[in-house]
Amino acid sequence: MINIRSSGISELEKQYRINLINSLIGYRSLNLLGTANSDGITNLCIISSTFHLGANPPLIGMVIRPEREHNDTLHNIRSTGQYTLNNVLPDWYMKAHQTSASYPSGVSEFEVCGFDTQYTEGFKAPFVAQSTVRIGLELRELIDMKVNGTTIVVGEIMHISTEDSLIGMDGAVDHAKAKTLTVAGLDTYFQPEILGQLAYAKPGTEPHVK
């Protein structure tokens, strides 16, 4: 049995601590975040910090690391107000992982990592053509976190691009069929499978499959 108190966490070796804390909560959503600057130069990075905020209006939040000189992502979102989230597939997850490398400012990860751009009329940010679930968002709020210097980005869904067959009659996206990957920690990828889809829970009733 391992018991680590807060004082012990801070004393752990840096990379060990980073891996431990990042993987502790288990599987997380995984997306490629696409942006472009005001001159149209594209940027792409892999993220695992998105979360659902609400369906009316349709909002998605994500956490962005502290802004750095060579980090174009947050700068692009601030300047254009638009960005995309694209799912990651098994056939090219290694290329997706490579987008996490610290390329110099102005270098397009779309180009150097081998991804094709796809655009929707009237929307500045690039989608990943190879993805099977693509979401276009417009910036609604930026929340700067004093506790660690990160920024919470809140966006409203403006575009959804996917195949008809990947959305069920109840509106749920079939991510198993879409081959959407997930991640635990910073570098360990998984392909989930459906265990079961349960009916809406109500007091006094037993959980049951739809």
Asked whether residue 200 is assigned to any structural domain, the reply reads: no
- Check which CATH number belongs to the domain holding 41 and give it: 2.30.110.10
Q: Is the peptide bond before 57 cis (omega within 30 degrees of 0)?
A: yes
Strands 117-118 and 42-47: unpaired
Query: pLDDT value at position 68?
Result: 65
- The reported pTM is 0.90
% of the chain beyond a pLDDT of 90 = 68
Confidence check: pLDDT of 8 > 70: yes
Asked whether residue 203 is assigned to any structural domain, the reply reads: no
Query: For the residues 87-105, what does the mean pLDDT come to?
Result: 95
Asked whether residue 64 is assigned to any structural domain, the reply reads: yes
Asked whether residue 92 is assigned to any structural domain, the reply reads: yes
Asked whether residue 196 is assigned to any structural domain, the reply reads: no
CA distance 48 to 180: 13
pLDDT in tens, 39-48: 999 999 999 9
Asked whether residue 208 is assigned to any structural domain, the reply reads: no
pLDDT in tens, 151-164: 999 999 999 999 99
Given a contact cutoff of 8 angstroms between Cβ atoms, the answer to whether 44 and 128 are in contact is: yes
Over its C-alpha atoms, the chain yields an Rg (Å, rounded) of 18
Confidence check: pLDDT of 194 > 90: no
Confidence check: pLDDT of 81 > 90: yes
Confidence check: pLDDT of 77 > 90: yes
pLDDT tier, 67 (very low <50, low <70, confident <90, very high otherwise):
low
Asked whether residue 74 is assigned to any structural domain, the reply reads: yes
CA distance 31 to 96: 9
pLDDT tier, 69 (very low <50, low <70, confident <90, very high otherwise):
low
pLDDT tier, 119 (very low <50, low <70, confident <90, very high otherwise):
very high
Residue 115, domain extent: 12-190
Asked whether residue 18 is assigned to any structural domain, the reply reads: yes
Query: pLDDT value at position 70?
Result: 64
> Could you give the number of structural domains in the chain?
1
